[in-house]
């Protein structure tokens, strides 16, 4: 049985790698076309666009791995079925449970790669890509309000006019309140620079203090500000939640929770990050019934087309349930796991039909 598993692994690894490389090339081409429209803004040139596209490739590896594993496994197994090799394997003792076990063991490598890219490679490369683009185009990070970014930090409300790609803050306003929600002071700083582990250096500070007898204006060239805000939290503005690491998502969710702000969107992203690598196994299980279909039930091209359609459907459902979960306040775990669960049930149904055929 080890010989059969090694043979299956060789075929599946080769075909999945080929499919993944083809997808990455296609996505990189479309990304480059999209970036061409920004060439000429600031110092953004073709070499910047090419480097930006290159840095976004790890994110595409993470996103496309389940689909590539599905199509690659379908192709490999369909090829073996067309040459009657699957029939020989089944006669030699490869039962359905053993086939599922073999595919699952093979798929663990893809799960590990997906997790590695999703947690370590893609978040770092995505942040570098966005920083490169923003610096070259002389842009600041877009904010939801014209007045900039608003963040609640314990008993303060913080307004940041602009966040630079190096996480330097510009035009910082800090509104301090007491326990009874009375305004104590308003501080304005031209710039803010992070000092690990939990402080910011504010420069050109003007502070208006409100007291029972009136107001007092203070001006200092520099002051330190202790805050739970840090570059990782502000990095949410550079990287989409789906491309952040689980650790950074968890830290940001905790920060929002402590300040009584909405966390549903980020909780769904957190659970998706935890569940998504296992979707590779689900996709490969879904591919196994194609090997049991008789050749006359459809040629290799038809099976590959079916695999592509299933992969696109999974991708669409995954995004759909994430948005529906955030809108309807569904439990984050269910919003993340339902698409994979539905496709796992579909795989079981297709396997049952193939066994009865």
Q: Tell me the average pLDDT of the chain.
A: 84
Give me the mean pLDDT over the 84-110 stretch.
Answer: 85
Distance, in Å, from the CA atom of 238 to the CA atom of 141, rounded to the nearest integer, reads 7
Tell me the H-state helices in the chain. 2-36, 46-82, 85-91, 96-116, 122-136, 231-234, 246-258, 264-275, 279-292, 300-328, 332-356
* Neighbour-count burial of 33, counting CB atoms closer than 10 A to its CB (0-12 exposed, 13-18 middle, 19+ buried): exposed
Indicate the pTM of the whole model.
0.74
Distance, in Å, from the CA atom of 302 to the CA atom of 300, rounded to the nearest integer, reads 5
pLDDT over threshold 80, residue 7: yes
Q: What is the pLDDT of residues 11-27, one digit of tens each?
A: 999 999 999 999 999 99
Lowest-pLDDT choice from 46-55, 78-87, 111-120, 209-218:
78-87
Instruction: Answer with the residue of higher pLDDT: 276 or 180.
Output: 276
Q: What is the pLDDT of residues 61-74, one digit of tens each?
A: 999 999 999 999 99
User: What was the pLDDT predicted at 68?
Assistant: 95
Distance, in Å, from the CA atom of 329 to the CA atom of 316, rounded to the nearest integer, reads 19
Q: What is the pLDDT of residues 138-176, one digit of tens each?
A: 554 444 456 677 777 777 888 888 776 567 788 899 999
- Phi, psi values for residue 39, rounded to 5°: -65, 130
Instruction: Answer with the residue of higher pLDDT: 281 or 150.
Output: 281
Domain ranges across the chain: 2-137+274-356, 149-237
Find all residues with CB under 8 Å of 268, minimum gap 6, and list them. Answer: 322, 325, 326, 332, 335, 336
Distance, in Å, from the CA atom of 267 to the CA atom of 244, rounded to the nearest integer, reads 12
Instruction: Answer with the residue of higher pLDDT: 227 or 342.
Output: 342
> Could you give the 3-state DSSP secondary structure of residue 40?
coil
Q: Cβ–Cβ contacts within 10 Å for residue 316, how many?
A: 11
User: What was the pLDDT predicted at 160?
Assistant: 84
Lowest-pLDDT choice from 12-16, 83-87, 180-184, 255-259:
255-259
Distance, in Å, from the CA atom of 90 to the CA atom of 80, rounded to the nearest integer, reads 12
């Amino acid at each position: 049985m080890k010989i059969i598993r090694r043979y299956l692994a060789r075929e599946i690894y080769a075909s999945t790698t080929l499919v993944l490389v083809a997808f990455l090339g296609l996505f990189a081409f479309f990304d480059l076309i999209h970036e061409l429209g920004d060439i000429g803004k600031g110092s953004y040139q073709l070499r910047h666009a090419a480097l930006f596209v290159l840095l976004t490739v790890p994110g595409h590896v993470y996103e496309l791995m389940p689909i590539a594993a599905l199509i690659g496994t379908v192709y490999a197994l369909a090829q073996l079925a067309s040459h009657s090799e699957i029939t020989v394997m089944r006669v030699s003792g490869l039962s359905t449970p053993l086939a599922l076990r073999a595919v699952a063991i093979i798929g663990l490598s893809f799960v590990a790669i997906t997790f590695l890219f999703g947690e370590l490679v893609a978040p770092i490369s995505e942040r570098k890509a966005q920083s490169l683009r923003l610096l070259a185009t002389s842009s600041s990070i877009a904010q939801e309000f014209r007045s900039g970014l608003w963040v609640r930090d314990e008993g303060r409300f913080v307004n940041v006019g602009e966040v630079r790609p190096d996480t330097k803050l510009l035009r910082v306003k800090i509104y301090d309140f007491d326990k009874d929600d009375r305004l104590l002071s308003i501080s304005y700083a031209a710039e803010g620079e992070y000092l690990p582990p939990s402080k910011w250096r504010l420069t050109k500070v003007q502070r208006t203090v409100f007291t029972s007898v009136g107001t007092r204006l203070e001006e200092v060239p520099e002051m330190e500000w202790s805050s739970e805000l840090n570059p990782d939290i502000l990095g949410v503005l550079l990287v989409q939640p789906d491309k952040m690491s689980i650790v950074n998502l968890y830290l940001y969710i905790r920060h929002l929770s402590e300040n009584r702000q909405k966390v549903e969107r980020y909780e769904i992203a957190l659970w998706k990050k935890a569940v998504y690598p296992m979707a590779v196994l689900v996709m490969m299980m879904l591919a196994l019934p194609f090997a049991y279909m008789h050749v006359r039930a459809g040629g290799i091209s038809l099976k590959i087309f079916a695999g592509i359609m299933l992969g696109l459907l999974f991708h669409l459902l995954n995004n759909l349930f994430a948005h529906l979960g955030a809108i309807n306040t569904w439990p984050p775990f269910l919003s993340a796991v339902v698409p994979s669960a539905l496709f796992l049930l579909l795989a079981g149904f297709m396997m049952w039909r193939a066994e009865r055929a």
